[in-house]
Homo-oligomer: A and B are copies of this chain.
Amino acid sequence: MKMGVGKYDELFNRIKERAKLVDEKLFELIPEKEPKVLYEAARHYPLAGGKRIRPFVVLTATEAVGGNALKAIYPAVAIELIHNYSLVHDDIMDMDETRRGKPTVHKVWGINMAILAGDLLFSKAFEAISRAEISPEKKAKVLETIVKASNELCEGQALDLEFENREMVSIEEYMRMISGKTGALFDASAKVGGIVGTENEEYIEALSRWGRNVGMAFQIWDDVLDLIADEEKLGKPVGSDIRKGKKTLIVAHFFENADEKAKEKFLKVFGKYAGDVKGKGIIEEDVKAEVMEAIELLKEHGSIDYASRIARELVEKANEALNVLPESRARKDLELLASFMVEREY
């Protein structure tokens, strides 16, 4: 997600400003220290980039309920650390080789150190909660909320791993998986911000609902972009998910709606070109043509439109939830961020 597109300019500027505040405390928790290799590996993704969207949600949610965002910095850092730990471990499991334009942690330091670096980031997330300058009562609630999300994260990832061994997954199964894998941490981000800023349970509940829906929309839109985005903007070949056989909402919809013949045709391409085709006696141009045909099948069955609509509906639902909150710049920013999730082109 890159920044700077007209109506979102101010939002992006605020995200950047907040990211600076967050990074100060983030790197205080993972400084350059001994054992050097461990801390280097743990700092790799946070140093490589990332927009700190989840911390922004935490801080902005605090403001949206009338609280002081500065009180929410450490909880925001905790969420970002959880996010980064899960990236490190997921990249091992998915055998991904690059992330944020850099080689993945396990590619640089090996699997053992990557497991350990992820563990350290996870542990540091709870240290961040521990450091939060909020009442012990609020700290306990923040802990409870983040723990619930990190449990769900594991459960969502387990479903995703399980999907790999399956011929197909249903729409319902897919939605459950991303609810855990992407929805839970956005939910926790907004909710934690609410907890820090208010005692009003209705506000906190609204933020939680906003986050869950936005997180899921974010993931679905990611899957849509893989099929429709400009290859150059996206930085990877169109249809890379089809090559890898990734079970997305689009594919789940297709399988619930296509006839046997169409399914058969699709399965000839789906998951057949994982990794680099070079040196395997396969011609990239032929693969591309086959992938484009598969995408055509998805389009014909309305599967891409379906997923796009679901993503947009989730964002609407998310923003509707915020109606109980008083109007404010912070609430507006959350609404804008949600819209951006399903309007971005890369």
Q: Are A151 and B120 in contact (CB under 8 A)?
A: yes
Interface centre among A112, A127, A137, A144 (most CB of B within 10 A): A112
Q: Are A130 and B143 in contact (CB under 8 A)?
A: yes
Q: List which A92-149 residues lie within 8 A (CB) of chain B.
A: 92-93, 111-113, 115-116, 118-120, 122-124, 126-127, 129-130, 135-137, 139-140, 143-144, 146-148
- A161 to B112: give the CA distance in the assembly, Å: 8
Chain B hits for A143, CB < 8 A: 126, 129-130, 139, 143
Q: Are B122 and A122 in contact (CB under 8 A)?
A: yes
From B38, B130, B161, contact of A116 by CB (8 A): B161
- A140 to B116: give the CA distance in the assembly, Å: 25
A48 CB within 8 Å of chain B: no
From B113, B140, B144, B153, contact of A140 by CB (8 A): B140
- Minimal Cβ-Cβ distance residue in B for A93: B112
A157 CB within 8 Å of chain B: yes
CB distance from A7 to the nearest CB of B (A): 38
Q: Are A35 and B140 in contact (CB under 8 A)?
A: no
A336 CB within 8 Å of chain B: no
CB distance from A86 to the nearest CB of B (A): 8
Q: Are A123 and B35 in contact (CB under 8 A)?
A: no
Given contacts A119-B154, A137-B136, A154-B120, whether A147 and B127 have CB atoms under 8 Å apart is yes
Chain B hits for A154, CB < 8 A: 38, 116, 119-120, 123
Q: Are B151 and A123 in contact (CB under 8 A)?
A: yes
- A135 to B342: give the CA distance in the assembly, Å: 44
A162 CB within 8 Å of chain B: yes
Given contacts A38-B155, A93-B112, whether A130 and B140 have CB atoms under 8 Å apart is yes
Given contacts A35-B162, A37-B162, whether A126 and B112 have CB atoms under 8 Å apart is no
Chain B hits for A148, CB < 8 A: 127
Q: Are B115 and A93 in contact (CB under 8 A)?
A: yes
CB distance from A39 to the nearest CB of B (A): 9
- A124 to B144: give the CA distance in the assembly, Å: 11
From B116, B135, B137, B147, contact of A126 by CB (8 A): B147
Chain B hits for A157, CB < 8 A: 116
Q: Are A140 and B147 in contact (CB under 8 A)?
A: no
CB distance from A115 to the nearest CB of B (A): 6
A308 CB within 8 Å of chain B: no
A169 CB within 8 Å of chain B: no
A282 CB within 8 Å of chain B: no
Known: A111-B111, A119-B150; 20 extra A-B contacts, CB below 8 A, are A35-B155, A35-B159, A37-B162, A89-B115, A89-B119, A93-B116, A112-B161, A115-B115, A118-B119, A119-B154, A122-B122, A122-B123, A123-B153, A126-B126, A126-B143, A126-B146, A126-B150, A129-B143, A130-B143, A136-B139
- Sample 8 A-B pairs with CB under 8 A, ordered by A number: A35-B158, A93-B112, A113-B161, A116-B157, A118-B119, A119-B122, A123-B150, A143-B143
Nearest 4 Cβ contacts at the A-B interface: A136-B136, A38-B158, A35-B158, A123-B150
